[in-house]
A = this chain, B = another copy of it.
Amino acid sequence: MQRVYNFSAGPAMLPEEVLKQAAEEMLDWRGTGMSVAEMSHRGKEYMSIAAEAEADLRELMAIPANYKVLFLQGGASSQFAMVPMNLFRGHKKADYLLTGSWGKKAISEAKRYGTVNVACDASAGSGKFTFAPKQGDLSLSADADYVHYTPNETIEGVSFPYIPEVGDKPLVADFSSAILSGSLDVSRYGVIYAGAQKNIGPAGLTICIVRDDLLGQTIAGTPTMFDYKTHADNESMYNTPATYAWYLAGLVFKWLKERGGIAAQAAVNTRKAEKLYAAIDSNDFYGNPVEVSSRSIMNVPFTLADAALDAAFLSEAKAAGLVTLKGHRSVGGMRASIYNAMPEAGVDALVAFMANFAKRHG
């Protein structure tokens, strides 16, 4: 077996240690004679797995006690509706910061339930998303029920270098592609949500971290399953949760803790990103259109100056064990997603391949 370096934007690489442990425990978890996938979610074995995963996540992210941690289903796409359904109050108005494709989707869904003020549209003029606007350029409303943004836009590789200051409004963030990648002051947020399939675990699990004063008020017609309080009141077991995905997420949390937690991982992530951006910037063969201060350390899109070489780049990379590098169709070129589970050796291999490819084709 030869493992590859998989630069997929999500579902994405998982730590090899986690996969090995999962394989070993697949038929028998700690002498119970059953797989975690077979366990009743109401049984004490599974309850302990679930509770330990939550405790580890709380420790890793230093989540304050007045926040609920929910293990849900439906991905960020479901959150796009759940956020307005749970947070729209009297005004039914929210500010959305628009810096990429996912923010656009969030806006489109929120508009179905109330008024959206686009507090910034980073694509205005150019039609492209290449930067995160500065605090002073945000047009925030006085009467917004909340402010929503996407700290890291997966498709465009655009990241906020700061947490927006929004006064006493709840700040809501789609952290799908950035959660656990660096330290984060959870207390600055009202709601943090993230699809698991990038930095947490397998697809089919969504983590929501919700400040408890925001629970319990939904707009008319909100499905019971879309009410955060339903899940908060039941330890995310109102219905059967995605038990196996939750377990795998727990293994990933343990793996992160063993490696020194978020701070240690953030240092590795920064180093990986610096190497890759240096490789892109070191010559005119490659390019990345994102403003340097807004560059993502998780998703690194890049283009070849000669797009006619794209196919050769992808096939030669694949032959070298570097896969899923094709960029999103809306951006073109390449994209290397380098989440926590991408080893630094994978980035080193990509950087070496890029230099070699440029030399041969430049």
Chain A: residues with CB nearer than 8 A to chain B?
Answer: 1-4, 6, 8-14, 16, 19-20, 22-24, 26-28, 32-35, 37-41, 43, 73-78, 80-82, 85, 109, 112-113, 195, 197, 201-205, 220-221, 223-226, 238-245, 248, 321, 323-324
In Å, the complex CA distance between A130 and B344 comes to 61
The 8 closest A-B pairs by CB, nearest first: A204-B242, A4-B33, A81-B223, A23-B26, A77-B239, A73-B73, A8-B40, A221-B221
- In the complex, which of the residues B6, B41, B238 contacts A11, with contact meaning CB atoms closer than 8 Å? B41
- In the complex, which of the residues B27, B74, B240 contacts A10, with contact meaning CB atoms closer than 8 Å? B240
Interface of A is mostly: loop
In Å, the complex CA distance between A305 and B335 comes to 66
- Please name the residue on chain B nearest to A37 by beta carbon: B202
Check B23–A1 contact: CB distance below 8 A. no
When distances are taken between beta carbons in the complex, the residues of chain B under 8 Å from A2 are 28, 33
Q: How far is the CB of A324 from chain B (nearest CB, A)?
A: 6
- Please name the residue on chain B nearest to A245 by beta carbon: B204
In Å, the complex CA distance between A10 and B239 comes to 11
Given A195-B240, A240-B197, A245-B244, do A27 and B20 touch, yes or no (CB 8 Å)? yes
Q: How far is the CB of A248 from chain B (nearest CB, A)?
A: 7
When distances are taken between beta carbons in the complex, the residues of chain B under 8 Å from A39 are 6, 8, 11
Given A26-B22, A224-B77, A244-B244, do A9 and B40 touch, yes or no (CB 8 Å)? yes
16 extra interface residue pairs, beta carbon distance < 8 Å, beyond A11-B240, A82-B223:
A6-B38, A8-B43, A11-B243, A14-B38, A19-B26, A37-B202, A43-B324, A73-B204, A74-B78, A109-B224, A112-B221, A202-B243, A204-B240, A204-B245, A221-B221, A223-B223
